[in-house]
Amino acid sequence: MFFMKIITVEHLKYKYPLSDKLALDDISFEIEQGEFIGIIGQNGAGKSTLCQALVGLVPNFYKGSYGGTVLVNGINVSKTEVSEVASHVGLVFQNPFNQITGSKLTVYEEVAFGLENLGLPVEEMKRRIDNVLNLLGLYEFRDKNPFDLSGGQMQRLAIAGIIAMQPEVIVLDEPTSQLDPQGSEEVFRVVQRLSEQGMTIVMAEHKMEKIAAYSDRVMLLHDGKLIDFDIPKKVFSREDIEEYGVITPVYTRICKNLDIKDENGFYPITIDEAHERLEKIL
Amino acid sequence: MRTLSLYQEGDSIIHKIDPITKIIFVLITILIPIIMGTLNSAFAFLIISLTLVIIAGVIKKVLPIVGFTSIILVTVIIIQGLYYFNNRTPFFAIGTVVFYKEGLLYALEIILRIYSIINSVSLLMFTTKPSDLVEALVKKGLSPRIGYVFSSVLQIIPQMMSTVDTIIDAQRSRGMEVEGSFSRRIRAFIPLIGPAVISSLIDTKERAMALEVRAFNSRYKKTFLNEGTTFKYADVMQVSLISILIISIVLRFVH
């Protein structure tokens, strides 16, 4: 099977203005079309900075010193305007409130914001908005004021606003960190659905059980360096993983303490795998 | 949802008129009485705008504004009645204080003008969705960035106010007193305003980035989801309103 490389990052280095430390230190990787990539690492590891580098906010929004290249779908994002990159790669932020434009009175119009800026014809806009609202389960709220939505609904609306622009890649920077469990679950379900539809997804997240369940590969960052980029089982089975401030999925921790490994020598990372392994033993 | 909008839902004919026509109407009610400078024109425009306010069904909202302005306008009557420079004919006297006819007429003209401006501006504000108004202006060539500032401020300010409420509650729960004497309130101000400003700055930065990734600074020509309140007679009305303005200017110079 032929996989197309959709993101290629080469020797990416970045330093924020007024800072002496590299926020991203010589990062190189490739992501294939349709992959689900999880980014993990403790606070300050560079997760958000990397997410923003993928859409060109780093360096174009912050300035600062930048080295290396980020290619998304053949576009060099650091040399392209963010608004131009926006139709190729979308970014969803942590705080749902701050992603609502505030200039629109209904959910329906809110989704249209990006499409208006891209100058799409009205018919196309309506087609895309209907489509996206249905996909994200927001159609029933289309006439509501965006600020009247719950956190989880608002975050899904933020995702809708991005998806409607039909990017090839969507980057989510801790999209559930400010949501309650129910809201988080809604958002994860939506992200999973997008992944099943073949969209390339890059998600930074602290909820390791979710990363373990959804990711094709996991990127482990520490102090701005790329420590590991591999299948989740392999990353979570690293003996030194806790030194990087990552708390592995609870199933992994249980199996690690019980010293239960699969045939490849990795610890189970999801409840199903752990269940299967334990059943064989008991 | 708290918003700062004055818009009143309604389905009167006035609600259906497009924002630009209403703006032109507001300009005309301001300009024509000034250009003509006669009592009759001021009175005519007051009647017209008042009638439109009644048709729009927003008279209840306008009355409090009229009432409030009246308090200020009483001073106009007193000052012009007593001291207008053309004052010659005494009209009536309270004790030794004499009110003059010329001054009172002039005050009347000012009052009629102000009331008609209040009515026509209210007509615009109460019957037009702010978002429609801004969108109409952006379509006419206002910068989308300035348009965004106008339309977002109405929703974002209430959001900021609720942030401030949260901060006040948080500081109170830590034992800070925010009520009481004037000096106590002043002292309470700094621990409140600090977090409020900083959190707004952080929010603004995030919002700016969120707008960026939605192609806010796009170089494409912007399109609009709402094709606008298409009002059949917009062109006819705008042309006739502007003609009325031109006629009034001509009349003024002929006389």
For range A132-148, the mean pLDDT: 94
The whole-number pLDDT of residue B232 equals: 80
Yes or no, beta carbons of A83 and B218 under 8 Å apart: yes
The whole-number pLDDT of residue B219 equals: 86
Cβ of A66: how many Cβ atoms within 10 Å?
18
- Rounded to 10 degrees, the C-alpha dihedral A253/A257/A260/A262 comes to 40
Asked if B220 is an interface residue toward chain A (Cβ–Cβ < 8 A), one would say yes
The whole-number pLDDT of residue B29 equals: 92
Contact A47, A23 (CB under 8 A): no
Indicate the average pLDDT of chain A. 94
Instruction: Spell out, as residue ranges, where chain B has pLDDT lower than 50.
Output: none
Yes or no, beta carbons of B215 and A117 under 8 Å apart: yes
Selecting from B129, B211, B220 the residue whose C-beta is nearest the C-beta of A119 gives B220
Chain centroid offset of residue B197 CA: 28
Contact A168, A5 (CB under 8 A): no
Asked if A61 is an interface residue toward chain B (Cβ–Cβ < 8 A), one would say yes
The whole-number pLDDT of residue A216 equals: 96
Asked if B143 is an interface residue toward chain A (Cβ–Cβ < 8 A), one would say no
Distance CA B167, CA B110 (A): 46
Contact A147, A100 (CB under 8 A): yes
Residue A7 has phi, psi (to 5 degrees) of -125, 130
For A149-205, write each residue's pLDDT tens digit.
Answer: 999 999 999 999 999 999 999 999 999 999 999 999 999 999 999 999 999 999 999
Taking CB atoms and an 8 Å cutoff, what residues of chain B touch A84? 215, 218-219
pTM of the model: 0.86
Distance CA A267, CA A206 (A): 19
Taking CB atoms and an 8 Å cutoff, what residues of chain A touch B137? none
For range A122-127, the mean pLDDT: 96
- What tokens appear for A214 in the block? 């959804």
For A218-268, write each residue's pLDDT tens digit.
Answer: 999 999 999 999 999 999 999 999 999 999 999 999 999 999 998 899 999
Selecting from A98, A104, A120 the residue whose C-beta is nearest the C-beta of B210 gives A98
The whole-number pLDDT of residue B228 equals: 63
Yes or no, beta carbons of B151 and A103 under 8 Å apart: yes
Closest CA to A99 of B224, B177, B212, B252: B212
List b or e across A161-173, with b for residues whose CB sees 16 or more CB atoms inside 10 angstroms.
bbbbbbbbbbbbb
The vertex-B51 CA angle with B46 and B56, nearest 5°, equals 125
Q: In terms of CA atoms, which chain B residue is nearest residue A158?
A: B210
Taking CB atoms and an 8 Å cutoff, what residues of chain A touch B152? 101-103
**Pairs across A and B, CB distance < 8 A:** 120
- Band of the pLDDT at A1, cuts 50, 70, 90? very low
Selecting from B134, B153, B214 the residue whose C-beta is nearest the C-beta of A114 gives B214
Yes or no, beta carbons of A119 and B159 under 8 Å apart: no
For A92-101, write each residue's pLDDT tens digit.
Answer: 999 999 999 9
